[in-house]
Amino acid sequence: MTTAFITHPSFLKHEMGTHHPECPQRLQAIYDEFDRSGLIAKLAKIEAPLASREQLAAAHDGDYVDSIFAAAPEHDYAYLDPDTAMNPHTLEAAQRASGAVICGVDRVMSGESNNAFCAVRPCGHHATYDRAMGFCIFNNVAVGAAHALQAHQLERVAILDFDVHHGNGTEDIFHDDERVMLCSSFQHPYYPGTGAHSGNAHIIPTPLSARSSGAEFRRAIDATWWPALTRFQPELIIISAGFDAHADDPLAYLQLHEDDYVWITERILDVADQFAGGRLVSALEGGYHFDALARSAAAHVSALLRNAA
């Protein structure tokens, strides 16, 4: 078995206008780094399928899903909020971004792959039950978790989010569902301004002040995530893998580096091995400095590969 690399050409066609930071070049930088380093040859390359309306509605309000299909433009852009737009290719990309995580869940549950990395756009963790925001349309990890609960009858799924922004959409969807534990680290106060005070027994916030170092990040994660996960004993882990907490990222103010992403990936793999039979699916979220994003994603996936060998 190996690490599945799940992506699709449609992800390069979704764009939200000139100079928008969430742009196709982000994903192209990852592709180029994986090619340059030889990493791509070690991965099982899978084409992301389309998530159905029914699969999307397992995590989202059905009327909201219908509204996104209705909003898809034939030309130009349709704006869902000031930061989030659709072009004529976006609906397919958004369906396949969620479909990639569903595919990853199915592969690790069947034993076809130890783990999976979904190189997707648009990102998803700000999409709430009934609202698009923050570059996100469908909540990819939430759709994957809902699929795991329904299709695979799991009782405990953990979503681990180390993006620099709080995964408010994921929390909104699962705040009252004790079958899903969300552990989320994020700069606070910062966009979207949520998360620091809304935790409960299965929503585990780890807010970090601006300029927090990798060492401070590690100490905070050690104090919050691992005790909660040991108590929860997840049967599957899904990662919201945002790399915008990197020190080079232009949109935020944390100070992580590639070795911090290796560290947290290896620690998550330890938890997956202990409780979930190694089953882990990671989905790309943020990261807006192309080189730092590409290096960090490669470091993350290299750690996944070592566990899959």
DSSP string, 209-250: -TT-BHHHHHHHHHHHHHHHHHHH--SEEEEEE--TTBTT-T
| Neighbour-count burial for 165-203, b at 16+ CB within 10 Å, e otherwise | bbbbbbbbbbeeeebbbbbbbbbbebbeebbeeebeebb
* Chain-centroid distance, C-alpha 149: 18
Give the total residue count for the chain: 309
Among 8, 14, 125, 126, which one carries the catalytic annotation? 126
In 10 A of CB 248, how many CB atoms? 18
pLDDT for residue 309 is more than 70 = no
Question: Residue 72 has which token pair?
Answer: 């898809």
pTM of the model: 0.98
Closest CA to 200 of 217, 181, 219: 181
Cα(15)–Cα(29) distance, integer angstroms: 15
Contact of 170 with 240, CB cutoff 8 Å: yes
Q: What is the pLDDT of residues 75-90, one digit of tens each?
A: 999 999 999 999 999 9
In 10 A of CB 226, how many CB atoms? 15
* Full domain range(s) for residue 76: 3-308
Strand bridging mode 236-241 / 157-161: parallel
Alpha-carbon torsion (181, 204, 172, 272), positive or negative: negative
DSSP string, 126-181: T--SS--BTTBSS-HHHHHHHHHHHHS--S-EEEEE-SSS--HHHHHHHTT-TTEE
Cα(268)–Cα(108) distance, integer angstroms: 15
Annotation says 126 is catalytic: yes
Q: What is the pLDDT of residues 269-297, one digit of tens each?
A: 999 999 999 999 999 999 999 999 999 99
Domain count for the chain = 1
Cα(162)–Cα(81) distance, integer angstroms: 24
Q: What percent of the chain has pLDDT over 90?
A: 98
- Supply the mean pLDDT for the chain: 98
Alpha-carbon torsion (236, 116, 182, 68), positive or negative: negative
Cα(166)–Cα(126) distance, integer angstroms: 8
Burial-class residue 18 by CB neighbours within 10 Å (0-12, 13-18, 19+). exposed
Q: Which pLDDT does position 18 carry in this prediction?
A: 94
CATH code for the domain in which residue 113 is found: 3.40.800.20
Q: Which pLDDT does position 1 carry in this prediction?
A: 73
Place of tokens 């807006």: 288
Average pLDDT over residues 254-258: 98
Average pLDDT over residues 112-138: 98
Q: What is the pLDDT of residues 51-72, one digit of tens each?
A: 999 999 999 999 999 999 999 9
Question: Residue 70 has which token pair?
Answer: 């209705």
Average pLDDT over residues 147-155: 98
